[in-house]
Structure 1
Amino acid sequence: METKEQRFVMKCGGSTLAALPASFFEDLRALQEQGVRPVIVHGGGPAISETLTKLGIESEFVNGLRKTSDEVLDVVEMVLAGRINKEIVRKIGQSGAKAIGLSGVDGQLIQAKPVANSAEIGFVGEVTDVNAEVIEGVMGMGYIPVIAPIGIDAGGQRYNINADTAAGAVASHLGVERMIVVTDVPGILKEVDGVKQVLPTVTVAQIDQMIESGEIYGGMIPKVRAAVQCIQGRVQEVVIVSGEEPGVLSKAVKEGGIGTRIIQS
């Protein structure tokens, strides 16, 4: 594949992106200048929780997903599609790269339906389709699409969508086989002779075993499970990398051999 056709989907939490050094965004700009086409899908859970607390709105989680009433949904959309999305676009712009912020509602970009247990969890959606033409159009104009994971159905109902599943769906509909998940850790760590080392490659089945055995524990569990959620459709592998690592995106896109590759089997 020629470089000019090279594209990748990157998923990052809103709080992680906000803390990334300027060099990360300069690396993104360098890739864009070389003809690589990045697409960013972001989350923003901590910022949503913080805003709900400030507004005195109670919210709870059911099996790791935020219970989303109409009132909570307003805040989710305001924080994700408003504050965080524009913060990322601004940071990319400061680096000299070009970005356009979108939410899944724009151009019916992320089409969704209620999840199976919507009666207990509210307006949480699962992706039914992605309007890849909108993303292709934005990339074609030379901009990086920055997508907030809000979904919409044919009747105009909005849905809160898990950022990891949204990122996986976007990648799959774009025909991207490899996704990059940017976190605050260098990959999946395993203790070998008392020293923590990054596992270069791991399968989904091995991850389940490592969670069961306690080798993957604490805050690493949700990060790894989230990365696994990105493996769907055409997406064959996900690479977990640290955004703090100098030139991390260039290394992940061009050379590989950085972070942890999670593969289907």
Structure 2
Amino acid sequence: MTTCKSTQHTDLKTIVIKLGGSMLEGLTTTFFENFKKMQQSGIDIIIVHGGGPAINQALANANVETITKNGVRVTSSEAIEIVQSTLIGKVNPELTHQLNGASIKAIGLSGYDGSLFNCSFLDKKEYGYVGNIEAVNTALLKTLLSEKIIPVVSCFGVSSDGIPLNINGDTVASKVALAMNADSLLLVTDAPGVKINDEVQNSVNPEQIKEWIYSGDIYDGMIPKVQAAIDCLNAGIPTVQIVGSQLVGTTVQKKGVIA
């Protein structure tokens, strides 16, 4: 595992980009052009996506109730089929099609494909059909990247005995980034970064974040985003960036570390 203190990258090689479900419907031509520029500069890109709004709508249409606990969607046996069909059958192919339509070679993947994830139950009694990633098939991802194909990974896995499992999006992104020894993780949201006094901060550290949450300068929907960034740093990812659709925003890194 790569730790933040011991790793100082001079050139970014691999970036994992997590697209929140709320971002998927408003992707622009500029957004895809930025992807092309990153690839042309020699950066390998892996996309991990969620699908919260689409899943919520599909569950509501089927009159299936759902709740979240500790940031994790509790997924019943009834809900897991809907989550699976929405993520793998709708959201993932639509995003992959958009990328291909923008002349960006991409292929959609889930935990079913090429044994991408080795998964177990996170806690069946507590969360139902929710998975925890034990290992990532990095050889598969590296093979695709070597051909300049972007893997588009949905947050869905399967147990060793074939049981489908919903997986938290930030967890998938973090596990993939760690397994691939990624230089950075980008959390793409509908906010342009961390704003303090209406000004986007170029760089912040966990200590500052805690102070700003306490003071109320960081509030509402930005709180879970910065907390996810801190969790990723603590897991060993060198830097995490909270960015908007222009793929620029705020770099979150440990105090004293040079990105």
Shift of 1:142: 2.1
Q: Which runs of 5+ in 2 are unaligned?
A: 1-8
Partner SS for 2:233: coil
Residue 210 (structure 2) aligns with: 208
**Counterpart selection for 1:261 from 224, 240, 251:** 251
1:105 matched to 2:98: no
Superposed counterparts of 1:47-196, under 5 Å: 47-116=54-123, 118-191=124-197, 196=198
Q: Where has structure 1 moved over 6 Å in runs of 4 or more? A: none
Q: Distance in 2 between matches of 1:231 and 1:130?
A: 19
- Residue number in structure 2 paired with 1:255: none
1:201, 1:260 within 8 Å by CA — same for their partners in 2? yes
Q: Secondary structure of 1:147's match? A: strand
Alpha-carbon RMSD across the aligned residues, in angstroms, is: 2.0
Q: How many residues align?
A: 247
Alignment partner of 1:53: what SS?
helix
Separation in 2, partners of 1:70, 1:199: 43
Change (3 A) 1:228 1:76: farther
Identity of aligned residues (%): 37
Which amino acid is the alignment partner of residue 179 of structure 2? Answer: H
Cα gap change, 1:153 to 1:61, in 2 (>3 Å)? same
**What is the Cα deviation at residue 70 of structure 1?**
1.6
Tell which has more relative contact order, 1 or 2 (C-alpha 8 A, sep 6+): 2
CA contact (8 A) 2:109 2:152 kept: yes
> In the TM superposition, what is the alpha-carbon distance from 1:115 to its structure 2 partner?
2.0
Conservation of the 8 A alpha-carbon contact between 1:177 and 1:234: no
Compared CA separation, residues 120 and 7, structure 1 to 2 (3 A): closer
How far did 1:91 drift? 0.9
Question: Counterpart amino acid of 2:80?
Answer: L
CA distance in 2, matches of 1:28, 1:181: 14
Measured after TM superposition, the shift of residue 233 of structure 1 is: 4.1
Normalised to the residue count of structure 1, the TM-score between the two structures is 0.86
Per mean C-alpha deviation after superposition, the further-off stretch among 167-176 and 28-37 is 28-37
How far did 1:232 drift?
5.1
**What SS does structure 2 have at the residue aligned with 1:230?**
helix
Letter matched to residue 24 of structure 2: L
Tell me, what secondary structure is at the counterpart of 2:99? helix
1:128 maps to amino acid: E
Deviation string 1:221-246 (CA, Å, 9 cap, x unpaired) is 12222333433544121011110x3x
Aligned to 2:6: none
Aligned residue for 1:217, secondary structure, equals coil
